[in-house]
Amino acid sequence: MNVPLLDLKAQHRTIRDEVLAKVMEVVDAQLFILGQPVLDLETRMAELSRARFGIGVASGTDALLLPLKALDLKPGDEVITVPFTFFATAGTIHNAGARPVFVDIEADTYNMDPAALEAAITPRTRAIMPVHLFGQMAAMERILAVAGRHGLPVIEDAAQAIGARRRVDGAWRMAGELGAATGFSFFPSKNLGGWGDSGMVVANDEAIATRVRRLRVHGGLQTYFHDEVGTNSRLDALQAAVLLAKLPHLPAWSAARRAHAARYSEALAGLGAVRTPVTDPANEHIYNQYVVSVDRRDALQAHLKSNGVGTAIYYPLALHLQPCFAYLGYAKGAFPVSEAATARVLALPVYPELSEAQQAYVVDQIRGFYGD
């Protein structure tokens, strides 16, 4: 049997006509830059996140970079984040002109450890960037409490967490609802994926929203007049059309991912070599990835590959150990929880259209590998 990590064609078959109809509206109008589809998607994403503003941008990376640029960071300014994440989280801090400062993650959720955050704050700290990794939110209420004590903005990296939510003081709070600004990614493999690169900033801080809106059009809202130097980072109208057609399906897709996750976790329970994902009881996980922590990870991955099962390692090298960040001066062992995770994590197929038979096959292959 063949079970790919992701099967975008399976999803496409179910929605092809709806998406093409939306795309053809843009094609027939021949209006490809910003315009109504982008405005509509901005409104929908702000509504979904219960945030005040939505600003479509060219990628998830820019959805982090532009809010950081809006903070006017100076050399030596520090932004605190985690080393166990996709590169863009820290790459954008560097590219916005600040110094990435890392703090370790919690072993169970892989998200920022709020106690470590408090200890890392210095007089040069300018912002905090937690990541809602794999689709479950970081402990926002604890992170916001630290941020509030120090008067720091929180920029959420919610690239993997569109529609994720967390109970705070008895009420559901969406990814993007509590931070000053939040970056989402519509990279094709994300829970809500475009037909290419695209991203969205949602913001509650009006000053950041206004700056991001300007920065994405070369720093000038009036054509040919520039208040500051920005860039071209507009969300493509064709991508907005695709995403508008897909968005109504997102709740059902996330529910399907959760059902698959529950089935895996039950079927793999009791296998000593495999730790299934831990969801913080306050969280509703959207399983952008279903990541197990396993003994003999690389051998298991090779075994699954040779039996037709696609997997991926998110992430094999923590960011503080990347050659490009050697200048930050972190040594191996600086973040033991993150480093341990890089040696053990393996993402299994969890896309919504995955069949029960495919899942059972993946589980059989894992159990077979461990001689169970």
Ligand X SMILES: Cc1ncc(COP(=O)(O)O)c(C=O)c1O
Residue selected from 53, 86, 110, 325 as contacting ligand X according to rule CB under 6 A:
86
Q: Which of 42/157 has CB closer to ligand X?
A: 157
Q: Which of 89/191 has CB closer to ligand X?
A: 89
Alpha-carbon distance 55 to 65, whole Å?
Answer: 13
Q: In angstroms, what is the minimal distance from the CB of 315 to ligand X? A: 9
**Residue 312, Cβ density class (10 Å: 0-12 exposed, 13-18 middle, ≥19 buried):** middle
Q: In angstroms, what is the minimal distance from the CB of 91 to ligand X? A: 9
Q: Which of 89/136 has CB closer to ligand X?
A: 89
Q: Does 199 bind ligand X (CB under 6 A)?
A: yes
The footprint of ligand X on residues 202-231 (CB under 6 A) is none
Residue selected from 11, 49, 81, 89 as contacting ligand X according to rule CB under 6 A:
89
Q: Which of 185/191 has CB closer to ligand X?
A: 185
Q: Does 85 bind ligand X (CB under 6 A)?
A: yes
Contact 335, 104 (CB under 8 A): yes
Q: Which of 131/180 has CB closer to ligand X?
A: 131
Question: Which residue is nearest to ligand X, using beta carbons?
Answer: 60
What is the size of the binding site for ligand X (CB under 6 A)? 15
Q: Does 88 bind ligand X (CB under 6 A)?
A: yes
Q: Does 315 bind ligand X (CB under 6 A)?
A: no
Q: Does 59 bind ligand X (CB under 6 A)?
A: yes
Q: Which of 191/358 has CB closer to ligand X?
A: 191
| Alpha carbon 230 to chain centroid, angstroms | 24
Q: In angstroms, what is the minimal distance from the CB of 191 to ligand X? A: 11
Q: In angstroms, what is the minimal distance from the CB of 78 to ligand X? A: 19
Which residue, among 193, 96, 182, has the nearest Cα to 137 in the 3D structure? 182
Instruction: Name the one residue in this structure whose structure tokens are 């470590």.
Output: 116
Which segment (13-21, 53-61, 138-146, 218-226) binds ligand X by CB under 6 A? 53-61
Q: Does 131 bind ligand X (CB under 6 A)?
A: yes
Q: Which residues, 6 or more positions from 50, have their beta carbon under 8 angstroms from its beta carbon?
A: 173, 174, 176, 177
Q: Which of 86/330 has CB closer to ligand X?
A: 86
Q: Does 60 bind ligand X (CB under 6 A)?
A: yes
Q: In angstroms, what is the minimal distance from the CB of 134 to ligand X? A: 9
Q: In angstroms, what is the minimal distance from the CB of 360 to ligand X? A: 29
Which segment (74-82, 85-93, 228-236, 270-278) binds ligand X by CB under 6 A? 85-93
Q: In angstroms, what is the minimal distance from the CB of 63 to ligand X? A: 7
Q: Which of 197/339 has CB closer to ligand X?
A: 197
Q: Which of 55/88 has CB closer to ligand X?
A: 88
Binding mask 152-191 for ligand X (x = CB under 6 A): -----x-xx------------------------x-x----
Alpha-carbon distance 88 to 177, whole Å?
Answer: 21
- By CB under 6 A, name the binding residues for ligand X: 59-61, 85-86, 88-89, 131, 157, 159-160, 185, 187, 197, 199
